[in-house]
Each structure stands twice: as C-alpha cells, then as structure tokens.
Amino acid sequence: MLRLTKKADYGLMALKYLAEQADGSAHSAKDIAEAYHIPPQLLAKILQTLAKAELLVSHAGTNGGYALVRDAKEISAFEVIRAIDGPLFITSCITIHGSCDLAGHCTIKEPLRKVNDSIKELLSAISIADLIEASDAEHPGTGALVGGGLVSIAV
C-alpha cells in the first residue's frame, strides 16, 4: 500500500483551508490546526516548510499568519507532497542518483518507473482547488475535508 505521510496530508489540508478563505488574508497556524484537529506544533513546522518551498507566504505580527502564494488552481498536490516529503519514489531502485545494486539483473525497474511516473502525473494534475471541489461534492454544504489521505494505492 502506498500512502501519503501524515505531514503531507496535513499540508494538503492546510492549503485547502487557506484556499477556502475567500478574503485572501493570512490565517494563523492555530486557526488551521483547530479547524482540522491537527497538532499545532506539527502544523507550524509543516507550514514553515511550505513557506520555504514558496507555496505559502508568511506574515509576521498580530494579524500575521499564512496565505497562498499563488491561486489554488495553480498549486498541485504533487508540489505540496514533494515540498514536505521530498522526491516521490515508490521503490528504492528509482532514485535521483540512478541505478541500484541490482541494475544489471533487475526485470521490474522499468514497470515500476512507469508506475512512479503515473503517480507523479496524477498528483500533478490535482490542484488545491480540486480538493475543495471534491470535498464539496462528497459533503454538500459542509466544505469539510474528509482526512485519510489523497492517495491510497495497492501495489
């Protein structure tokens, strides 16, 4: 089973929350944590990571908080996951550095690379705005995200 980490799940939830706020103003980590029952300290670290990845902008001060850098339609789920968890590799043979110890004898590297690429393409095609629409379709009138992860694939 391939699953998102809790951190990635929380990051997606936080960006969804910010995208739902029509006013475009900054919102505190505390507000987001309370809305989704996320541990505040963990969420604060995740939001800092997303700000460093330039997906969020951080505003200091009494009315400070976080806001999306771009429109929710322009931020992909893949960007968020990559910012939090690093590059997506479903197996240790698919890495930034190329081949593994079994490169000359392996018969599954290419099929697994195709699976990895398909997952990357799928996540790249899902925007934060899509998460709002999906949530609204599942629970009309609530606007609430049902947690548990965006991706759960049996491999």
User: In the predicted model, is pLDDT for residue 20 greater than 50?
Assistant: yes
Report if residue 50 sits inside a domain. yes
Question: What mean pLDDT, rounded, does the chain reach?
Answer: 82
Q: Is residue 128 part of a domain?
A: yes
145 versus 7: the higher-pLDDT residue is 7
109: domain range? 2-149
- Per-residue pLDDT tens digits for 33-74: 999 999 999 999 999 999 999 999 998 888 789 999 999 999
Residues with Cβ < 8 Å from 4, sequence gap 6 or more? Answer: 12, 81, 85, 149, 150, 151
Instruction: Confirm whether 107 is domain-assigned.
Output: yes
| Assigned domain for 19 exists | yes
Summarised one tens digit per residue, pLDDT across range 112-133 is 888 888 999 999 999 999 999 8
Quick check: is 129 in a domain? yes
Cβ-contact 100, 106 below 8 angstroms:
yes
Q: Is residue 155 part of a domain?
A: no
Rounded to 5 degrees, φ, ψ at 93 are -80, -15
- Is 138 a residue whose pLDDT tops 80? no
Give the per-residue pLDDT at 12: 97
Query: Does 117 fall in a domain?
Result: yes
Instruction: Please give the Cα distance from 149 to 17 (Å, whole number).
Output: 15
Q: Residue 1: what pLDDT?
A: 55
The answer to the question of residue 58 being in a domain is yes
pTM of this prediction? 0.79
Domain count for the chain, please give it: 1
What's the CATH number where 88 sits?
A: 1.10.10.10
pLDDT value of position 155: 39
